Amino acid sequence: MQTINKNRIILMLSFIVLIASIIVHVLHRFFYLSEYWGHHGADQLTLITNSFLFIPIIFFVVSMILYKKKSDHRLVPLFNTLTITFSSMSMVAGGEGMVEYHFSIFMVVAMIGYYEKINLILIMTVLFAIQHIAGYFFLGEYVFGTNIYPFTMIVVHALFLIGTSGAIIWQVTHKRRLIGDLGEKEQKQLKLSGVVENLSQTSEKVINVSSQLKEINQSNQAIFGESVSYIQQIANGALTQKQQVEENSRSIQAMTTDIQHIAESSSEVSDITQKTEQNADDGNKMIQKTVIRWIILMIK
């Protein structure tokens, strides 16, 4: 996501720089701006000047195609760098080598530095170095506006360019180191936070388990109390049943004794009844004998 944002921003900036270079070409070709500012026009070949004009346009078109194809394409930063760098060169060439346009180099350094990629800064620095060397030996009209240019000025340009690029590279390197340190600290902090979070979760689990154990203990105590009460009820019931059994046993024993008494009484009554029957029978026999005797006496 960060690369996509950087590509979009630098692509817009490269378009602005490209438009600025085209405007410079138009002003110097059709409105003779250098003469208006009191500078003598450089003796340039239209073919070479047009080459400086169209090269950054080609790079920009390639950047747009790559960006439309894939917004985070790995070659988009490179072609954005080439577009901005050659737009600055085109601006210098279209402006007939006027020193004012050389300041665009520092603008390019600042824009490319936004990528925070050392290889892009080195590519840009090498291209500008080649531009100045070629200008000193072959293309003075397109770089310095004249074929005669002091070598010391080239050295000064090179020193400022190298110093600026070196400062950007140092800043990028230092920032990466800081980010790396911050990343390590952040990782340690994340690990520490993870440990604290784990401890917190463990503590919560322990508290939950303790609460559950407390509830279970209370439940067990309640169940134990109910069990004791139930056992006590059973014991009381057993005792009551024992007492009832003992009472029933005593009642049965009493009934058995009574039955024995009744049996004994019945036996005695039976004996008396038998004796009474025997006596009655004997009396009856005596009466019969007496009657018979009386009848016999009457007959005599």
DSSP 133-184: HHHHHT-HHHHTSSS---HHHHHHHHHHHHHHHHHHHHHHHHHHHHHHHHHH
CA distances to 54, 63, 102, 155 from 95, in Å: 15, 25, 10, 22
User: In a structure prediction context, what are the per-residue pLDDT tens digits for the chain, which is 300 residues long?
Assistant: 678 889 999 999 999 999 999 999 999 888 877 777 766 666 788 899 999 999 999 999 999 999 999 998 999 999 999 999 999 999 999 988 888 898 899 899 999 999 989 999 999 999 999 999 998 898 888 888 888 888 888 888 889 889 988 999 999 898 888 888 777 777 777 777 777 777 777 777 767 877 777 777 677 677 767 766 777 777 676 677 777 767 777 777 777 776 677 667 666 656 666 776 676 677 677 777 776 776 777 776
Residue 81: the pLDDT is 96
Residue 93: the pLDDT is 92
CB 92 within 8 A of CB 145: no
Give the torsion sign (CA, 147, 42, 152, 17): negative
Residue 229: the pLDDT is 75
Residue 267: the pLDDT is 66
Q: What is the pTM of this model?
A: 0.62
Pairwise CA distance, residues 139 & 42, whole Å: 11
Q: Which DSSP string corresponds to 109-129?
A: HHHHHTT--HHHHHHHHHHHH
Q: Return the SS3 of 73.
A: coil
